[in-house]
């Protein structure tokens, strides 16, 4: 029989967030099973958690995790496969560490499709485990094993996973597992899918199966940019009068949050943070995020791991789909990132092609510090450049503080309106949590949190929310990642999103995930309602009918009662801004005691 290797630090695993404990020892047995080998690998690669919805196709693996592996990875029961993948997604993007999601056969995989796609476009390393068959027809149960199996099951998600594989014999499990892990964790990261034959899991193990060496590198080294190209980029930056830095995924490594500050300060360049990860401190005087006017006079834009360069730099007339660039025609562009390495032949998440003057293939985790050193040398050698940097810094700081003052004034508009405005809600939450070690999970409340809160550390926010029916699951994963650190994790939760997956509330109570949910409850799918208003105005149809098929009223969901029924502490609905703080303080006391809490706050539509 194969002896599991010693578990410990695997090269390529470095993070201060999430579960870093060593796995427990496995329970020896006279008879071992094929699924035990999969558990050995989960232990070796320190995959601490596995979110799942139960399924008979992986009953062998389930038993091995519980008994042979002593419930490592820790199983987290979910009510839907999308929830399972979303929890793993949120955990991965918050911690930088992968998490397992286990999906039952073909039907479970199909249930999870949308969540897998969002993990893919958000670069979340999710280790998805599935099952099928048995592929040996003589071992299949009548009907059920036939309807739940596919000839090539991974094909269902092949277009939006980095890799999928189905080993045919137990001896193929270790090699494919190691390859899957390396592919998943190599930048740009993303989900993989490993499908294990049901009979492979359940068959007795009658020989030793070699595991990967414990000394083997789990992932390759980072992709270094070409040094000569970086020198050319620095020539262009130094020559520019009004450059702008634009960052989207560079903050996926928390150290890059700090190195980007040093780089921006060295050259006095304003930074526009797209917020797919938190890339730059919100109150830094060079932060010009959400001030799109910064592009109107730019003569150079440096994109740092940016996929969506177009939305921040254009103005859209939504009704007519007319797009106008804010960037002057003569401006130059530099792109540093992974280029077409993440280009999909199926999904169009790659956005419109950026015709950059200089494209550099490489990891911004390495590129930013290298650029900083080049910039420091140039500034130290050129007094005129140093003076220009100082002037630019002062000018940008003035624009930054003017924008913040404007937002503060705007937040007070209609302050006493009932229901409260989103800006009032953002203000009330901030006043209560500002002295805590807090984390905002996903939604930014129409960007009012980014305008009013102080995002001063990289762990404050793992990045903006994605589509509807994703936020509650991702938020649970973010809260799980920060649970051991004792941080106050806050989810400003849209009502429509929670209605997709109310069962996720039970997951938090069951698995003791302390999370503060503050409902952003406008009793509507208002994003789409706005689109119908635009159509009504353009076509001359009745504005008062735009709400049909959009409102969530008559009856209005009672989220507090729903949460209490699943083990949460809950209050609400609350319509008056002045009543929010006291309710939040009571809820936070319960969260700190380990119980999830929900405060249902009602807001204006906008």
CA geometry: angle 79, 85, 86, nearest 5 deg: 90
pLDDT of residue 479 exceeding 70: yes
487-543 pLDDT tens trace = 999 999 999 999 999 999 999 999 999 999 999 999 888 788 788 888 888 899 998
Q: Of 401, 424, 439, which closes a domain?
A: 401
Q: Which CATH number goes with the domain that contains 175?
A: 3.40.50.970
CA–CA dist 451, 230 (Å, integer) = 33
How many other CB atoms are found less than 10 A from the CB of residue 532? 17
Confidence at residue 526, expressed as pLDDT on a 0 to 100 scale: 78
Residues 508 and 572 reside in one and the same domain: yes
How many other CB atoms are found less than 10 A from the CB of residue 205? 16
Structural domain contains residue 368: yes
425-454 pLDDT tens trace = 999 999 999 999 999 999 999 999 999 999
pLDDT of residue 13 exceeding 70: no
Residues 371 and 261 reside in one and the same domain: yes
Structural domain contains residue 220: no
The region that residue 333 occupies, defined by phi over 0 for left and psi between -120 and 50 for alpha, beta otherwise, is: beta
Q: Which CATH number goes with the domain that contains 394?
A: 3.40.50.1220
Q: What is the mean pLDDT of the chain?
A: 93
Residues 310 and 439 reside in one and the same domain: no
Q: How many domains does the chain have?
A: 3
Backbone angles phi, psi at 12, to 5 degrees: 105, -10
Question: Which among 53, 153, 152 has a CA at the least distance from the CA of 101?
Answer: 53
- Contact between 596 and 569 under an 8 Å Cβ cutoff? The reply is yes
Per-residue confidence band for 11, with pLDDT thresholds at 50, 70 and 90: very low
Q: In sequence order, what DSSP letters do the residues of 47-86 get, joined into one string? A: --EEEE---GGGHHHHHIIIIISSS-SEEEE-SSHHHHHH
* Residue 104 Cα to chain centre, angstroms: 24
Domain range for residue 509?
Answer: 412-601
Q: Which helix (H) or strand (E) holds 401?
A: helix 383-411
Residues 304 and 429 reside in one and the same domain: no
Question: Which among 358, 348, 337, 202 has a CA at the least distance from the CA of 277?
Answer: 337
27-77 pLDDT tens trace = 988 899 999 999 999 999 999 999 999 999 999 999 999 999 999 999 999
pLDDT of residue 396 exceeding 70: yes
88-132 pLDDT tens trace = 999 999 999 999 999 999 999 999 999 999 999 999 999 999 999
- Contact between 315 and 324 under an 8 Å Cβ cutoff? The reply is yes
Residues 154 and 284 reside in one and the same domain: no
Structural domain contains residue 297: yes
571-590 pLDDT tens trace = 999 999 999 999 999 999 99
**Average of per-residue pLDDT across 539-548:** 89
pLDDT of residue 356 exceeding 70: yes
Strand partners, 304: 247, 336
Strands 99-103 and 126-132: parallel
pLDDT of residue 12 exceeding 70: no
**Residue of higher predicted confidence among 350 and 407:** 407
Residues 447 and 379 reside in one and the same domain: no
Residues 278 and 319 reside in one and the same domain: yes
Residues 47 and 112 reside in one and the same domain: yes
Residues 6+ apart with CB under 8 A from 207: 1
Strand partners, 538: none
Q: Kindly report whether the peptide bond that precedes residue 555 is cis, defined as omega within 30 degrees of 0.
A: yes
Q: What is the pTM of this model?
A: 0.95
Residues 376 and 348 reside in one and the same domain: yes
CA–CA dist 102, 123 (Å, integer) = 19
Residues 359 and 483 reside in one and the same domain: no
- Specify burial of residue 343 (Cβ count, 10 A radius: 0-12, 13-18, 19+): exposed
Residues 282 and 177 reside in one and the same domain: no
Structural domain contains residue 595: yes
Give the chain's largest Cα–Cα span: 81
**Average of per-residue pLDDT across 253-271:** 97
Per-residue confidence band for 138, with pLDDT thresholds at 50, 70 and 90: confident
Structural domain contains residue 462: yes
Question: Which among 36, 70, 57, 78 has a CA at the least distance from the CA of 196?
Answer: 57
Q: What percent of the chain has pLDDT over 90?
A: 83
Residues 397 and 323 reside in one and the same domain: yes
Q: Of 367, 401, 435, which closes a domain?
A: 401
Per-residue confidence band for 1, with pLDDT thresholds at 50, 70 and 90: very low
pLDDT of residue 9 exceeding 70: no
pLDDT of residue 4 exceeding 70: no
- Contact between 217 and 12 under an 8 Å Cβ cutoff? The reply is yes
Tell me 467's DSSP state.
S
Question: Which among 266, 182, 255, 258 has a CA at the least distance from the CA of 216?
Answer: 182
Structural domain contains residue 428: yes
Question: Which among 126, 141, 121 has a CA at the least distance from the CA of 57?
Answer: 141
Confidence at residue 16, expressed as pLDDT on a 0 to 100 scale: 61
pLDDT of residue 3 exceeding 50: no
Q: Kindly report whether the peptide bond that precedes residue 505 is cis, defined as omega within 30 degrees of 0.
A: no
CA geometry: angle 25, 29, 30, nearest 5 deg: 150
Confidence at residue 538, expressed as pLDDT on a 0 to 100 scale: 87
pLDDT of residue 5 exceeding 50: no
For the chain, give the number of residues.
606
Structural domain contains residue 194: yes
Structural domain contains residue 27: no
Q: Of 401, 428, 461, which closes a domain?
A: 401
**Average of per-residue pLDDT across 139-168:** 90
Confidence at residue 69, expressed as pLDDT on a 0 to 100 scale: 97
379-389 pLDDT tens trace = 999 999 999 99
How many other CB atoms are found less than 10 A from the CB of residue 145? 20
**Average of per-residue pLDDT across 302-311:** 95
């Amino acid at each position: 029989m194969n002896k599991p290797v010693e578990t410990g630090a695997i090269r390529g695993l470095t993070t201060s967030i999430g579960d870093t404990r060593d796995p427990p020892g496995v329970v020896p047995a006279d008879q071992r099973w094929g699924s035990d080998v999969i558990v050995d690998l989960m232990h070796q690669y320190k995959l601490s958690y596995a979110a799942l919805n139960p399924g008979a196709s992986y009953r062998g693996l389930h038993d091995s995790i519980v008994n042979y592996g002593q419930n490592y990875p820790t199983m987290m029961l979910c009510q839907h496969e999308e929830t399972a993948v979303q929890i793993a997604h949120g955990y991965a993007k918050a911690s930088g560490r992968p998490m397992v999601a286990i999906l039952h056969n073909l039907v479970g995989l199909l249930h999870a499709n949308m969540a897998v796609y969002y993990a893919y476009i958000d670069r979340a390393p999710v280790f998805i485990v599935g099952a099928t068959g048995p592929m040996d027809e003589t071992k299949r149960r009548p009907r059920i094993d036939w309807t739940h199996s596919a000839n090539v099951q991974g094909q269902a998600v092949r277009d939006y996973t980095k890799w999928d594989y189905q080993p045919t014999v137990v001896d193929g499990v270790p090699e494919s597992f190691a390859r899957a892990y390396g592919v998943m964790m190599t930048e740009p990261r993303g989900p993989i899918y490993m499908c294990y034959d049901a009979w492979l899991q359940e068959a007795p193990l009658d020989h030793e199966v070699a595991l990967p060496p414990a000394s083997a590198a789990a992932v390759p080294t980072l992709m270094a940019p070409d040094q000569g190209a970086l020198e050319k980029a620095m020539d262009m930056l130094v020559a520019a009068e009004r450059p702008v830095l634009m960052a989207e995924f560079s903050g996926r490594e928390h150290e890059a949050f700090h190195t980007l500050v040093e780089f921006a300060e060295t050259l006095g360049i304003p930074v526009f943070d797209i917020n797919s990860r938190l890339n730059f401190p919100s109150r830094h005087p060079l932060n010009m995020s959400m001030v799109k006017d910064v592009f109107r006079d730019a003569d150079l834009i440096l994109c740092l791991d940016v996929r969506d360069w177009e939305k921040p730099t254009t103005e859209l007339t939504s009704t007519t789909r007319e797009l106008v660039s804010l960037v002057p025609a003569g401006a130059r562009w530099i792109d540093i990132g992974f280029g077409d390495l993440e280009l999909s032949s199926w999904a169009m998440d790659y956005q419109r092609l950026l015709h950059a003057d200089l494209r550099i293939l490489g990891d911004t985790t390495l590129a930013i510090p290298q650029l900083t050193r080049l910039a420091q040398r140039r500034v130290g050698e050129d007094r005129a450049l140093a003076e220009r940097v100082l002037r630019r810094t002062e000018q940008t700081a003035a624009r930054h503080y003017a924008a913040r003052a404007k937002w503060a004034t705007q937040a007070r508009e209609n302050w006493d309106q009932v229901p409260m405005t989103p800006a009032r809600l953002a203000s009330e939450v901030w006043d209560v949590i500002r002295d805590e070690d807090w984390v905002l999970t996903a939604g930014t409340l129409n960007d009012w949190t980014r305008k009013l809160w102080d995002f001063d550390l990289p762990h404050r926010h793992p990045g903006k929310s994605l589509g509807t029916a994703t936020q509650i699951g991702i938020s649970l994963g973010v809260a799980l990642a920060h649970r051991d650190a004792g941080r106050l994790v806050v989810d400003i939760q849209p009502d429509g999103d929670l209605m997709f997956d109310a069962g996720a509330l039970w997951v938090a109570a069951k698995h003791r995930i302390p999370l503060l949910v503050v409902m952003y409850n406008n009793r509507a799918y208002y994003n789409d309602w706005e689109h119908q208003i635009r159509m009504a105005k353009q076509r001359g149809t009745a504005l008062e009918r735009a709400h049909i098929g959009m409102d969530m009223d008559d009856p209005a969901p009672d989220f507090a009662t729903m949460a209490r029924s699943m083990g949460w502490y809950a209050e609400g609905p609350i319509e008056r801004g002045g009543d929010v703080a006291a309710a939040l303080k009571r809820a936070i006391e319960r969260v700190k005691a380990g119980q999830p809490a929900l405060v249902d706050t009602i807001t204006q539509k906008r």
